[in-house]
Amino acid sequence: MNHAVYIGAGTDVFPLTHCHWIQSLVCIDSKPYSKYGVKQSGILCDGVDEFARPGFEDALDRAYYEVGFLLTAKGNGNKRHYSCNGRRVEYHINTSIPDHHFTVKEVFQHMDTLIVSDHDPDCIFLKYTTKRLIFIGIEGTSFIPDETKHSNTVIQKLHHGAIQYFFKAYWFITKEGQIHEFSLWEDFVHFSSRLTRLDSLDLMLSARR
């Protein structure tokens, strides 16, 4: 695997520190323009939009620097490049998916891995993919179905069986970096749900001590 994509990455560096086999990582996030895609609050506080995150770029550079990745270039205003020992990160800021999907379609054409952590991304990028993907899910993310809404997001579509053809394997990575591989989405979800129940039980027992 050489071309992983992480939509809604924020300042999370977990994939860099625990997925050492990934040589090229593309991150996409709507910040600093807005925390919520292209939406804006319309409510100004001292002239600053409450959905914006003006300090995001500095926080991003600092997070990568702390794990050895240096900012090497800025391009087109919304693109940042980081590198460390031959590994590369291409970060697209101010880029919301699905709204700006056409601006990064070449990224999706070359990807072979999707990283999902906390955020369930819109699956519009699948219209551009040319390879069957590996799905990497990070512990702490909710992988359960949400029956209260009709969603075009990856996790919800996988539950409905609509996009499973696009994925050849599902990897669950724990907070400690342990990797559990599954060939079926249902097995991945079962393992994730079981781990979540065990974590909840541990917390409950700890609280009683």
Q: How are beta strands 79-84 and 87-92 bridged, if at all?
A: antiparallel
CB 136 within 8 A of CB 4: yes
The average confidence (pLDDT) of the chain is: 85
User: Region 86-103: what's the mean pLDDT?
Assistant: 92
Supply the pLDDT for residue 196.
76
DSSP code at position 148: T
Per-residue pLDDT tens for 159-172? 999 899 999 999 99
- The pLDDT score that the predictor gives to residue 56 is 86
By C-alpha distance, which of 162, 180, 163 is closest to 171? Answer: 180
Which domain does 18 fall in, by range? 3-208
Q: What burial letters (b/e) apply to 177-199, b meaning 16+ CB within 10 Å?
A: eeebebeebeebbebbeeebeee
More confident residue, 94 or 69: 69
Give the pLDDT band (50/70/90) at residue 207.
very low
Q: Look at residues 51, 49, 47 and name the one whose alpha carbon lies nearest to residue 36.
A: 51
pLDDT at 206 over 50: no
Task: Look at residue 200 in the predicted model and tell me its pLDDT.
Answer: 45
The domain tally of the chain equals 1
* pLDDT, position 205: 32
Q: Strands 70-75, 79-84: parallel, antiparallel or unpaired by DSSP? A: antiparallel
Q: Which residue has the higher pLDDT, 140 or 42?
A: 140
